[in-house]
Structures are given as C-alpha cells and as structure tokens.
Amino acid sequence: MSSTLKNRASVLRAMSPILRERALVLRRWPRLISHLVAETFSRFTVQDAARAIIAYRENKPFYCELYLCMQKHSPGATFQDISEYMIERAFKMRRYHDVVLNNYLRARELLEETLKGRTLDFYA
C-alpha cells in the first residue's frame, strides 16, 4: 500500500463516523453530488448534497430550507419523498445542467476542491 493511501486511511479512521460517512459519499458519488448541487440551482453546497444523500440512504429526513419550501407547496409529501424526488430529478435533468444558475461543471469544480482538502462551503 502506498504512503498516500496509508495517510488517507489513517485520516479516515481518525474522523468521527459522521464526517467519515460524508467523506466516503463525496468520493463515491461525485456526479450525483454535482448534479444535485446544479439541480437545486446552487442552493446546496457540496457538503449539503452529501448530507442529503446520506439521509436518503438511511431513510431519514433531511431538513433544509429548500425541502421545507417544497413541502409547503406539496401537501402530504414527507421529507423522504422530497429527497427521493430531488435525487431522481437530478439524474433526469442532468442534460440541462449547463446554464448559469445550474451549472454542473462549476459544481464539479467545487467538489474537486473539497476533495483536495479545501473546505469550500459556498455555493456554485
């Protein structure tokens, strides 16, 4: 095992379980995260998108201002329903993430910077 992989593994072991899970999601689904940031018109940061995916995978509600607004306009919808809808929509609309407000390439750049260790918690 190379020294870089050993260092990365030791860093992951030293993290709290929540941060470790978020780091693994960032590395495992970079396209989904980038499309989710783009689909929400950059209302999600990279970290928010990772947290939304984790909540969806664990079948737990993810509370944010965007989902609260969507729930207000969709009576009877739960936060899990909204999470599922947003993730599906991020994939279905992926071909249209090329305009100024929902730009996939800009979201992907932010994700790459986050993976390099820079804590960029601002919007695309």
Residues 41-93: tens digit of each pLDDT: 778 888 888 899 998 888 888 888 888 888 888 888 888 898 888 888 888 88
Q: Is residue 63 part of a domain?
A: yes
pLDDT at 98 over 50: yes
Q: Is residue 64 part of a domain?
A: yes
Kindly report the CA angle at 25 between 23 and 28, in degrees rounded to 5?
110
Q: Is residue 123 part of a domain?
A: no
Q: How far apart are CA 113 and CA 75, in angstroms?
A: 38
Q: Are the beta carbons of 121 and 42 closer than 8 angstroms?
A: no
Question: What is the per-residue pLDDT for 119?
Answer: 61
Q: Is residue 43 part of a domain?
A: yes
Q: Is residue 94 part of a domain?
A: yes
The whole domain housing 101 covers 3-115
Question: What is the per-residue pLDDT for 93?
Answer: 80
Q: Is residue 121 part of a domain?
A: no
In the DSSP assignment, the letter for residue 120 is: -
Q: How far apart are CA 108 and CA 1, in angstroms?
A: 28
Q: Is residue 93 part of a domain?
A: yes
Higher pLDDT, 30 or 13: 30
Q: Which two tokens stand for residue 59?
A: 């079948």
Q: Is residue 29 part of a domain?
A: yes
Number of domains in the chain: 1
Q: Which of 17-31, 33-47, 107-121 has the lowest mean pLDDT?
A: 107-121
Question: What is the per-residue pLDDT for 13?
Answer: 56
